Homo-oligomer: A and B are copies of this chain.
Amino acid sequence: MNEAEFIAALARLPLHPGADGLRDDAAILGHRAGEQLVLTKDMIVEGVHYLPLDPPDDVAWKLVAVNLSDLAAKGARPVGLMLGYMLGDDAWDRAFLTGLDEAIRAFDAPLLGGDTVRGGGRARTLSLTAIGAADRVARRGGAKAGDSLWVTGTIGDAGAGLRIAQGADGPESLRSAYRRPVPRIAEGRALSADASAMMDISDGLLIDASRMAAASGLAVGIDLDAVPLSDALRDFSGDDESARLAAVTAGDDYELLFALPGDTQPPVAATRIGRLEPGEGLTLRWRGNALSLPDRLGFQHGS
């Protein structure tokens, strides 16, 4: 596909009214008073953030989902997407468009605009900017000493799914958790009024919980026993200490991690896994005893 053909295909996807049919260089966003706008941007590189043989529709879905997960963590609903796309071969472009269409419809995140460029055979780089709106914005650094730490969904499925995508034998449901994550948009909106701190888990539960604690000027303690694992993950990797450590240090969960005062119950399905305390750093408990921390708490940028 050339640029004109790809843009024509984009223009057949659900568009934000402000996209004006993608006929213009810029998108216009009318905006309601009293809302905050939330913006997030991700860039992914073939061979770095996804594999050349990953299904292109899944690459599109995940690019959208990962950005919308950042919006969800702020309590924002999606407003629209700006896509930066590097053209490659036609089959890949078409399959990417299919996955993009599925994600746009699934999450009600219409296309606002973007830029389509020729890559001249270079490794493909894609970029997405997601715009959201929130009545009240949650921050990762607002936790108070004594807050309980909660998490939505289950942890570690995507980490196991990555191993399955790389060739290990395991169930499709885990591979799908890796390739087709579902951002917790409704949960984020429901939680933003009460959560003193919130973020999404993208690099691993332990490292992201440490970041929330550090941003809040607090220590965090996590009960490894309490971390919710799916039945599929337990079947795949067991449920001992080392399986649980693998789950809490694997990335790509895209669940919400949030802090609530004392014994407040969350308005969404979630599991209490620990507590914020005065001090700094992370402590991990297993069957009531302190556990030494693994060398690697999750995926760290720049390392």
Q: Smallest CB–CB gap between A179 and chain B, Å?
A: 20
Q: Kindly list chain B residues whose C-beta atoms are within 8 Å of the C-beta of A132.
A: 26
> What is the interface size of chain A, counting residues whose CB is below 8 A from a CB of the partner?
69
Cβ contacts under 8 Å, A3 to chain B: 301-302
Q: Does residue A40 face the partner (Cβ distance < 8 Å to B)?
A: yes
Decide yes or no: A302 and B5 within 8 Å by CB, A23-B215, A27-B38, A122-B123 being known contacts: yes
| Cα-based distance from A27 to B215 in the complex (angstroms) | 16
Q: Are B122 and A45 in contact (CB under 8 A)?
A: yes
Q: How far is the CB of A203 from chain B (nearest CB, A)?
A: 11
Q: Give every chain B residue within 8 A of A5 (Cβ-Cβ).
A: 302
CB <8 Å contact, B28 and A74: yes
Chain B min CB distance to A116 (Å): 8
The answer to whether A71 touches B26 (Cβ under 8 A) is: yes
Whether B42 pairs with A115 at a CB distance below 8 angstroms is yes
Stretch among A29-37, A242-250, A272-280 lining the B interface: A29-37
Known A43-B85, A48-B117; 20 more pairs at CB < 8 Å: A4-B302, A23-B140, A25-B73, A26-B40, A27-B39, A31-B35, A31-B37, A37-B37, A41-B82, A41-B83, A41-B129, A42-B84, A43-B84, A45-B125, A84-B84, A86-B125, A115-B127, A119-B123, A122-B123, A123-B123
